[in-house]
């Protein structure tokens, strides 16, 4: 058992090295598998199709799903045959009489399908679930990064007034959110002091209240 584990660990290290993890990318799981680029019927119908089945390993990281072909009889080496960014996955399903894992992904504006079988250590449904969960986590991270990267507006009353006028909104007074009294809308500056409660009314706060009306801003 110990020897088998050591061999598995060594193989995992070799595969991970061949995968060339990107900065910050974390290895998740490895399954022995075969990969098909065409169904058997499609292969038989196309005499010039060439090789369509490879043996190797299906590897999952927190960013990619990859297939590495195993090469060599005694000394094993691994080369990446397929590398799919998780956010580009369209569909993952278990299909067919022989039960294969069908993976469809987007590449260069086209949908590409790959079939994986002969997996060991986990059922196809377990593998499907792990890939789907990892993809969902990756998509959430990407969406969060997009939100963080959005332009942050440094608003002053001049900018706010200009945007309101572009939207067909004419406002000459604003209401103090603390006191409730009306204030003249300044032409410049990032804040104005309420003469009643002495609190500062900030242009950014007014913008947030009117965001729904200023539809031309994100």
Q: Are residues 90 and 163 part of one domain? A: no
Q: Are residues 163 and 132 part of one domain? A: no
Evaluate whether residue 215 is within a structural domain.
no
Of 133, 149, 165, which one is at a domain's C-terminal end? 149
Of 149, 176, 196, which one is at a domain's C-terminal end? 149
Mean of the per-residue pLDDT values of the chain: 82
Q: Are residues 18 and 69 part of one domain? A: yes
- Interval 22-44 mean pLDDT: 81
Long-range (24+ apart) CB contacts under 8 A made by 50-54 are: 54/81
Q: Are residues 179 and 79 part of one domain? A: no
Could you read off the pLDDT of 44-103 as tens digits, one per residue? 455 566 678 899 999 999 999 999 999 988 888 999 999 999 999 999 999 877 788 999
Task: Please report which confidence band the pLDDT of residue 177 belongs to, taking 50, 70 and 90 as the band edges.
Answer: confident
Q: Are residues 43 and 104 part of one domain? A: yes
Tokens of 166: 């572009």
Of 102, 123, 149, which one is at a domain's C-terminal end? 149
Report the pLDDT value the prediction gives residue 191, as an integer from 0 to 100: 81
Report the pLDDT value the prediction gives residue 154, as an integer from 0 to 100: 60
Based on C-alpha coordinates, what's the Rg of the chain? 29
Mean pLDDT is lowest, of 20-34, 51-65, 141-155, 181-195, for 141-155
CB 51 within 8 Å of CB 110: no
CB 80 within 8 Å of CB 67: yes
Structural domain harbouring 76: 2-149
Asked whether the predicted pLDDT for residue 171 surpasses 90, the reply is no
Q: Are residues 145 and 162 part of one domain? A: no
Residue 9 Cα to chain centre, angstroms = 29
Q: Are residues 137 and 29 part of one domain? A: yes
Could you read off the pLDDT of 191-216 as tens digits, one per residue? 888 777 778 887 777 777 766 555 55
For the question of whether the overall pTM of this predicted structure is more than 0.75, the answer is: no
Q: How many domains does the chain have?
A: 2
Mean pLDDT is lowest, of 18-22, 49-53, 106-110, for 49-53
Evaluate whether residue 218 is within a structural domain.
no
CB 129 within 8 Å of CB 136: no
Share of the chain above pLDDT 90, in %: 36
Evaluate whether residue 216 is within a structural domain.
no
More confident residue, 33 or 42: 33
Q: Are residues 141 and 55 part of one domain? A: yes
Q: Are residues 24 and 112 part of one domain? A: yes
Asked whether the predicted pLDDT for residue 42 surpasses 60, the reply is no
Q: Are residues 96 and 192 part of one domain? A: no
Q: Are residues 48 and 32 part of one domain? A: yes
């Amino acid at each position: 058992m110990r020897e088998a584990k050591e061999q598995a660990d060594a193989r995992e290290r070799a595969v991970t090295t061949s995968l060339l993890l990107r900065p910050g990318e974390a290895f998740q799981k490895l399954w022995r598998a075969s990969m098909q680029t065409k169904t058997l019927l499609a292969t038989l119908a196309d005499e010039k199709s060439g090789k369509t089945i490879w043996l190797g390993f299906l590897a999952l990281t927190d960013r990619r799903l990859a297939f590495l072909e195993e090469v060599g009889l005694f000394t094993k080496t691994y080369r990446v045959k397929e590398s799919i960014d998780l956010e580009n996955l369209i569909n993952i399903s278990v299909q067919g009489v022989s039960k294969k894992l069908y993976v469809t992904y987007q590449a260069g504006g086209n949908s590409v399908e790959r079939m994986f079988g002969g997996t060991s250590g986990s059922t196809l449904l377990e593998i499907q679930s792990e890939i789907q969960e990892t993809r969902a986590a990756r998509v959430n991270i990407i969406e969060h990064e997009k939100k963080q990267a959005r332009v942050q507006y440094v608003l002053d009353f001049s900018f706010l007034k200009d945007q309101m006028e572009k939207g067909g909104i004419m406002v000459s007074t604003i209401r103090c959110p603390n006191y409730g009294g009306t204030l003249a809308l300044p032409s410049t500056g990032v804040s104005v002091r309420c003469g009643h409660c002495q609190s500062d009314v900030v242009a950014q706060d007014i913008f947030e209240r009117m965001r729904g009306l200023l539809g031309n801003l994100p």
